[in-house]
Amino acid sequence: MVVSEYVRNLGSDHEQVVPVTMFVAVLCLCLVIGHLLEENRCVNESIIAILIGCIAGTIILLLSKGKSSHILTFNEELFFIYLLPPIIFNAGFQVKKKQFFQNFLTIMSFGVIGVFISAIIITAGSWWLFPKLGFVGLTARDYVAVGTIFSSTDTVCTLQVLHQDETPLLYSLVFGEGVVNDATTVVLFNAVQKLDISRIDSRTALHVIGDFFYLFLASTALGITAGLVTSYVLKTLTFGRHSSVREIALMILMAYLSYILAELLQLSGILTVFFCGILMSHYAWHNLSENSRITTRHLFATMSFIAETFIFLFVGMDALDIEMWRMTKLSFGTSMSIYSTLILLILLGRAAFVFPLSVLSNHMNRRAKRTSVITFKHQIIIWWAGLMRGAVSIALAFKQFTYSGVTSDPINATMIIDTIVIVLFSTLVFGFLTKPLISYLIPHHETIKIGQRESSSPREDLNTPLISLEEPTTSNITRAKDSLSMLIERPVCTIHFYWRKFDDAYMRPIFGGPVTSQSEC
């Protein structure tokens, strides 16, 4: 009896190990092919993973005689608990903080206000057009979820073509918006899930906005707290004198703990772990030993890379889910109309905020003597960079329209297929066209000039005190007016300067890190 039970469990474990082994083997294949195509910047890891996933799914579909195309079953909880945290934490840990915070207002306007504008346009457009195209059955919550799902961007393709040294402003805006966009999308999605939106009115909209800002601020505060606590512990206890393993493990576990705590408190784990990554790179990283600093940089990037490849590989396989395709009741013509409508709404939703907000950003800085304005060519690239849809869209769609990755409702199955098709189309088609578009708009010789101009832009003299006892009163009044004018015209730059003075005087002595130069904004 005991022996038979052991044999049965052994067989069950064997059945679970084989799919995992096959999936890891396919992941290794993605790495090898990605290395071979390293010089071809048109084809990035996301496109390679999706194509290999489609090929692997086709082979599995043929071997199973049309029963399945999966090696593993997707679970949105697996994504949000294990795969998403390393991706977002690494984004915060690797972010160029100086450029990020110098363009903070523009990045936040794109990443926060832009998500709201895009979500409203996609929600309203799908709510109005889907019934006219013959697709009915979605609830009010579903339509709002659709607007949120398709407002999430994936800027990997564009970032692999842009050069940070040649176009620092453009790179900073695209990268910063991509990270903030993901965080905002998840926070907005969770805020919408908590509300009864069967009757949408102005009061409901205020509830959504209020809940959003509560989640945003509380999650940010939790992430900052976790980062500061980790930095203080590492600086005070000096783990590196005895074990590099312990200090690296503490950073990983504290980052993951912040994410789990945020989820337990019904906050946004993605926003918490992002700001935790920023604080750890700003303070905690400087408290590590030299070996640990090198290790953490590569370790966090490796974990993020594996998680992203895993997701896109599954997307390629899931595109051939025969059961999901059989479940949908829409005709081919109706399905194509739905796909085309969603693509059009994504294009319009993106354009509705990129161009106006870029003009507003340029207007706010027109008197700040900033030579690096967001040109019309830059605006087109920023607009194009956010057209790709990726892992977050897939995960949110599964969370909204499935239960543990499974659904028996034709309407929900249709929405899952729509999301996968949009992700495939946008990643493959828009991704392949990214390099030619950027090469046409900004030739290589122009990017070099832009980089030189941005690096040699004039610096504001922020070291001048507001009041000097050695000068007459009229000079002090004039200087105070100039300082206040600078604060109004360049609020982020000015606040950034005074924050650095506070940081060097009070924060870094407690939490760690070198004192920075005060000579530039």
Residue 471 pLDDT greater than 80, yes or no: no
pLDDT score at 122: 95
As a three-state string, the secondary structure of 342-353 is: HHHHHHHHHHHH
Cα distance between residue 135 and residue 114, in whole Å: 27
DSSP element (H, E) containing 271: helix 269-282
Give the angle 104-106-111 at the CA atoms, nearest 5°. 90
- The 3-state DSSP composition of the chain as helix, strand, coil percent (nearest 5) reads 75, 0, 25
Residue 389 pLDDT greater than 90, yes or no: no
Mean pLDDT, the chain, rounded, equals: 78
- Could you state, in order of their start, the residue ranges of all structural domains in the chain? 76-453
From the number of C-beta atoms within 10 Å of its C-beta (0-12, 13-18, 19+), residue 136 rates as exposed
pLDDT score at 478: 52
* Residues 152 and 349: beta-carbon distance below 8 Å: no
% of the chain surpassing 70 pLDDT: 76
Cα distance between residue 313 and residue 36, in whole Å: 18
- Please, which residues have CB within 8 angstroms of residue 422's CB and are 6 or more apart in sequence? 150, 339, 342, 343, 346, 389, 393
**Residue 375 phi, psi (nearest 5):** -70, 170
For the domain made up of 76-453, give the CATH fold.
Na+/H+ antiporter like fold (1.20.1530)
pLDDT digits (tens, 9 = 90+) for 331-364: 888 889 999 999 999 999 999 999 999 998 888 7
pLDDT digits (tens, 9 = 90+) for 191-221: 777 766 666 666 766 777 787 788 888 999 9
Q: How far is CA 39 from CA 16, 42, 120, 161, 438, in A?
A: 37, 9, 40, 11, 17
Cα distance between residue 275 and residue 215, in whole Å: 14
pLDDT digits (tens, 9 = 90+) for 449-464: 545 554 444 444 334 3
More confident residue, 100 or 272: 272
DSSP state of 151: T
Place of tokens 């982020």: 492
pLDDT score at 255: 93
